């Protein structure tokens, strides 16, 4: 596969679909939605054949809106190949679909690598199919390209449940580059975890400190071992640990602050949905707001673990210190509704019939 | 989940026991000491141990042609296993079964099995028996990615689900059925997806991470004991040796093997134990040495044991009932 960098063509004053259009990229994580939470929390099951279907619907709508090229990350289930073959066999494929030429490691490294390649290819929008974990990996490598996350995972706070067909349309609008990113996207916050000044890792929604010592099955579904919850946003309608502060103080993505909740006694008990199907009383000692860009230090009192967006990731040794900083360095997340409404105003969807 | 030091040490010892046992069997096979076929479990130790550490002696397992790891993890005795491999009188099957027939009903080992997929219906029968007797026993059924294409797999999953039996299906997806790579023998990548068709949970887990396997199996066993029904756990892993000893493995790339050897479950677990202060390097080496000597003792026991008598060639082959029927 050759990497093409296309020049930005001048946009017409009264733009309509099918004029200049960038390509779009798709990252579909074949491993999302298969973890232990199906056992402990009756979590959603979206199998990989459904991901193939979603990708097909994205392709069909994007091509109808004038997208000419679509790039897809390769994966162990061959989601991209299957979607392309199925549409070609049904004689419904009008767009060029390329599967990125990269080695598959069957880990989150693939997602990070694909994000880098898609940016080199200068795609106009990346659509992701996965959960919070998938998007966290994308966010590690993503710069300016808008991201449209479709939820196919379990415990998702970051991606939304969006119909693939609609996602394809919105991605095409973004790829037309008619609209300013700030009008159709929200620039996400993120939590940066620093160790001696160096960036250890990031979280898009929540970082949780728990008294576990191993990564194991990754998910965290009980609050007994949790001491701290750090969030970029908190809403009562969220699922997962960010719902705990969400029942105390709502923090929106647009707010220029984050939150930190300390669990334990004495304090109040908040009933919150900490995992799908798991609504529990959570003892809250205190909650305070975190200023943007300001580091807040944590010193581990015992060997413990930091879970990022719901998955155990970073082991912390006793007396080790890390800093948590909420920044505005997250992805440009495409707001589907805003994007479609903006396009509507410019008559983007009208074709002239003679 | 926090695990006791004792449990962690036991997991390490068992993984090491399987590794050392299999390495010696490989050598002994090459020297012509082990008749018949052997299929070794090296590289997959974390799966058997992570699962079986959740079981009691009264729980059951069904095993496969690649069964040494399952048997050791469930508490099988090395000396009787080794004697069986050597074809000696003192072996688990009095030397008549060899590697693929080892069983020890006293500790719930319902048997290795040379017929691919044959353990699956047995596990359903065992689950049904526990249900009918009203006990809280669970049955773990080990099988491979290749076996997941057998009719028995689908029949077992179906019956276990309609009867909500206390069975945990553990699929060891080691990427190959003999020389056939998974992507050429089935159109799905995650075998856990198949549970959905039968209406119970399917989970995919890193089969080379003993703690991850332990955690998932822990929840599945709990679910089975509480009467909530079966679970399918797919453990992604890899066999280092050929399909059988002597297999030239021309069907797979050297790089693939190297990649998986770098994911060796044993040093990975050792690192965790050391870094978290559960064991020192010295203590781990001590475990390794004591396991080596245990395996050596098993070999000595096998070597010193007699071969079965000629007169016994037809005993224990068929049940007495069959024999009686014949006589009539
Ligand atoms: C019913 C049956 N068919 C075929 C065979 C021959 N055979 C022995 S092992 C094997 C492959 C099994 O593959 P898998 O289930 O993935 O187990 P693995 O060897 O990888 O552990 C086959 C086909 C057999 N023993 N039984
Ligand atoms: Mg196999």
- In terms of Cβ atoms closer than 10 Å to its own Cβ (0-12, 13-18, 19+), residue B321 is exposed
pLDDT for the residue numbered A10: 31
For ligand 1, say whether the CB of B115 is within 6 Å of any of its atoms.
Answer: yes
pLDDT in tens, B120-159: 999 999 999 999 999 999 999 999 999 999 999 999 999 9
pLDDT for the residue numbered A40: 87
Specify whether A247 is located in the same domain as A152.
no
Residue B84 has pLDDT above 70, yes or no: yes
Specify whether A84 is located in the same domain as A170.
yes
Rounded distance between C-alpha atoms, residue A297 and residue A193, angstroms: 10
Q: Please list, residue by residue across B149-164, b when 16 or more beta carbons sit within 10 angstroms of its beta carbon and e when fewer do.
A: bbebbbebbebbbeeb
Residue B321 has pLDDT above 80, yes or no: no
Q: Is residue A354 part of a domain?
A: no
Specify whether A272 is located in the same domain as A147.
no
Contact B202, A34 (CB under 8 A): yes
pLDDT for the residue numbered A104: 92
For ligand 1, say whether the CB of B175 is within 6 Å of any of its atoms.
Answer: no
Question: Measured between CB atoms, does A31 come within 8 Å of chain B?
Answer: yes
Q: Which long-range contacts (CB under 8 A, 24 or more apart) does B113-118 make?
A: B113/B62, B113/B63, B113/B64, B113/B65, B113/B67, B114/B65, B116/B64, B116/B65, B116/B143, B116/B144, B116/B146, B116/B147, B116/B150, B116/B177, B117/B143, B117/B147, B117/B150, B117/B151, B117/B152, B117/B153, B118/B152
Residue B305 has pLDDT above 70, yes or no: yes
What is this model's ipTM? 0.83
pLDDT for the residue numbered B323: 66
Which residue would you say has higher pLDDT here, B310 or A9? B310
Closest residue by Cα to residue A278 from A92, A153, A99, A154? A154
Q: Is residue A352 part of a domain?
A: no
Cα B159 to ligand 1 centre (Å): 23
Pairing of strands A198-203, A69-72: unpaired
Walk along chain A (354 residues) and give the pLDDT tens digit of each residue: 444 433 333 333 334 554 689 999 999 999 877 889 888 888 888 888 899 999 999 999 999 999 999 999 999 999 999 999 999 999 999 999 999 999 999 889 999 999 999 999 999 999 999 999 999 999 999 999 999 999 987 668 899 999 999 999 999 999 999 999 999 999 999 999 999 889 999 999 999 999 998 999 998 888 889 999 999 999 999 999 999 999 999 999 999 999 999 999 999 999 999 988 899 999 999 999 999 999 999 999 999 999 999 999 999 999 999 999 999 999 999 999 999 999 999 988 887 665
Q: Is residue A351 part of a domain?
A: no
At A118, which CATH number? 3.40.50.10330
Rounded distance between C-alpha atoms, residue B290 and residue B274, angstroms: 19
Specify whether A279 is located in the same domain as A246.
yes
Counted domains in chain A: 2
Q: How confident is the model at residue B317 (pLDDT cuts 50, 70, 90)?
A: confident
Q: How confident is the model at residue B313 (pLDDT cuts 50, 70, 90)?
A: confident
pLDDT for the residue numbered A4: 40
At B234, which CATH number? 3.40.50.970
At A194, which CATH number? 2.60.200.30
Closest residue by Cα to residue A194 from A288, A116, A304, A306? A306
Cα B319 to ligand 2 centre (Å): 33
Specify whether A61 is located in the same domain as A132.
yes
Specify whether A135 is located in the same domain as A237.
no
- Global pTM value: 0.90
Handedness of CA B41, B43, B45, B46 (dihedral sign): negative
Q: Which of A269-278, A287-296, B217-226, B248-257 has the lowest mean pLDDT?
A: A269-278
Specify whether A51 is located in the same domain as A14.
yes
Instruction: Find the domain containing A272 and state its range.
Output: 190-327
E-assigned strand segments in chain A: 24-28, 69-72, 96-99, 125-130, 147-151, 185-187, 190-195, 198-203, 206-210, 226-231, 257-275, 278-291, 296-299, 304-308, 311-316, 321-327, 332-334
pLDDT for the residue numbered A12: 34
Instruction: Find the domain containing B86 and state its range.
Output: 5-327
CB atoms within 10 A of CB B34: 22
CB atoms within 10 A of CB A183: 11
Q: Is residue A57 part of a domain?
A: yes
Chain A contacts of B189, Cβ < 8 Å?
A: 30, 48, 76-78
Specify whether A312 is located in the same domain as A207.
yes
Chain A contacts of B205, Cβ < 8 Å?
A: 35-36, 217
The residues, any chain, with a CB within 8 Å of residue B181's CB and separated by 6 or more, are B175, B251, B252
Rounded distance between C-alpha atoms, residue A266 and residue A286, angstroms: 9
Residue of chain B whose Cα is closest to the Cα of A318: B276
**A38, A215, A217: residue with CB nearest B201:** A38
Specify whether A115 is located in the same domain as A222.
no
Counted domains in chain B: 1
Specify whether A291 is located in the same domain as A338.
no
Provide the 8-state DSSP code for A251. Answer: B
What is the least distance, in Å, from the CA of B149 to any CA of chain A? 17
Specify whether A172 is located in the same domain as A220.
no
Mutating to test ligand 1, I would choose from B62, B177, B246 the residue with most ligand atoms within 8 A of its C-beta, which is: B177
Length of chain A: 354
Q: How confident is the model at residue B1 (pLDDT cuts 50, 70, 90)?
A: confident
What is the least distance, in Å, from the CA of A273 to any CA of chain B? 20
pLDDT for the residue numbered A353: 62
Specify whether A178 is located in the same domain as A315.
no
Token couple for A274: 């900490």
Which residue would you say has higher pLDDT here, B321 or A298? A298
Q: Is residue A353 part of a domain?
A: no
């Amino acid at each position: 596969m050759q990497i093409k960098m296309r020049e930005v063509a001048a946009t017409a004053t009264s733009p309509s679909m099918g004029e200049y259009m960038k390509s779009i990229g798709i990252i579909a994580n074949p491993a999302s939605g298969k973890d232990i939470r199906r056992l402990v929390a009756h979590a959603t099951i979206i199998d990989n054949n459904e991901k193939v279907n979603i990708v097909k619907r994205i392709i069909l709508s994007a091509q109808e809106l004038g997208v000419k090229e679509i790039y897809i990350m390769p994966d162990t289930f061959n989601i991209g190949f299957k979607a392309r073959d199925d549409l070609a066999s049904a004689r419904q494929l009008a767009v060029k679909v390329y599967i990125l030429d990269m080695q598959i490691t069957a880990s989150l490294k693939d997602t990070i690598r694909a994000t880098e390649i898609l940016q080199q290819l200068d795609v106009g929008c990346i659509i992701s199919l996965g959960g919070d974990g998938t998007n966290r990996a994308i966010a590690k490598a993503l710069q300016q390209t808008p991201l449209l996350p479709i939820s196919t995972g379990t415990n998702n706070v970051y991606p939304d449940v969006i119909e693939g067909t609609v996602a394809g349309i919105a991605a095409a609008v973004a790829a037309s580059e008619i609209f300013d990113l700030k009008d159709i996207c929200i620039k996400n916050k993120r939590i940066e975890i620093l160790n001696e000044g160096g960036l250890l890792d990031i979280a898009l929604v929540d970082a949780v400190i728990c008294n576990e010592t191993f990564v194991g099955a990754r998910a965290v579904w009980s609050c007994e071992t949790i001491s701290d919850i750090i969030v970029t946003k908190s809403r009562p309608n969220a699922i997962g640990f960010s719902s705990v502060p969400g029942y105390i103080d709502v923090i929106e993505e647009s707010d220029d602050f984050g939150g930190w909740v300390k669990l334990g006694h004495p304090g109040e008990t908040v009933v919150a949905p900490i995992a799908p199907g798991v609504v529990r009383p959570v003892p809250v000692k205190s909650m305070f707001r975190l200023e943007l860009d300001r580091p807040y230090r944590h010193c581990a009192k015992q060997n413990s673990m930091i879970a990022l967006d719901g998955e155990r990731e970073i082991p912390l040794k006793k007396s080790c210190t890390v800093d948590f900083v909420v920044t505005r360095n997250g992805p440009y997340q495409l707001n589907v509704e805003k994007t479609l409404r903006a396009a509507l105003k410019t008559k983007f969807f009208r074709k002239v019939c003679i | 989940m926090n695990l006791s030091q004792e449990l962690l040490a036991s997991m390490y010892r068992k993984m090491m026991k399987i590794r050392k046992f299999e390495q010696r069997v490989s050598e002994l096979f090459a020297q012509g000491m082990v008749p018949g076929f052997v299929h070794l479990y090296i590289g997959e130790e974390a799966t058997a141990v992570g699962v079986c550490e959740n079981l009691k002696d009264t729980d059951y397992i069904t095993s496969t042609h690649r069964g040494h790891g399952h048997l050791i993890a469930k508490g099988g005795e090395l000396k009787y296993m080794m004697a069986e491999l050597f074809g000696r009188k003192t072996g688990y099957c009095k030397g008549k079964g060899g590697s693929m027939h080892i069983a020890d009903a006293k500790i719930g080992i319902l048997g290795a099995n040379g017929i691919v997929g044959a353990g699956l219906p047995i596990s359903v029968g065992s689950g049904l028996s526990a249900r009918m007797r009203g006990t809280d026993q669970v049955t773990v059924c080990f099988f491979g990615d290749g076996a997941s294409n057998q009719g028995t797999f689908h029949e077992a999953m179906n019956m276990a689900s309609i009867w909500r039996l206390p069975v945990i299906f553990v699929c060891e997806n080691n990427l190959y059925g003999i020389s056939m790579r998974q992507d050429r023998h089935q159109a799905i990548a995650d075998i856990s997806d198949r549970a959905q068709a039968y209406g119970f949970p399917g989970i995919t887990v890193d089969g080379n991470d003993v703690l991850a396997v332990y955690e998932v199996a822990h929840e599945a066993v709990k679910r089975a004991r509480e009467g909530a029904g079966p679970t399918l756990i797919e453990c992604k892993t890899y066999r280092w040796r050929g399909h059988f000893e002597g297999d030239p493995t021309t069907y797979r790339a050297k790089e693939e093997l190297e990649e998986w050897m770098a994911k060796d479950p044993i040093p990975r677990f050792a690192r965790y134990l050391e870094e978290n202060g559960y064991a020192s390097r010295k203590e781990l080496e001590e475990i390794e040495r004591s396991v080596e000597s245990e395996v050596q003792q098993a070999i000595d026991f096998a070597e010193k044991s007699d071969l079965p008598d000629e007169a016994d060639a037809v005993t224990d082959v068929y049940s007495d009932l069959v024999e009686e029927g014949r006589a009539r």
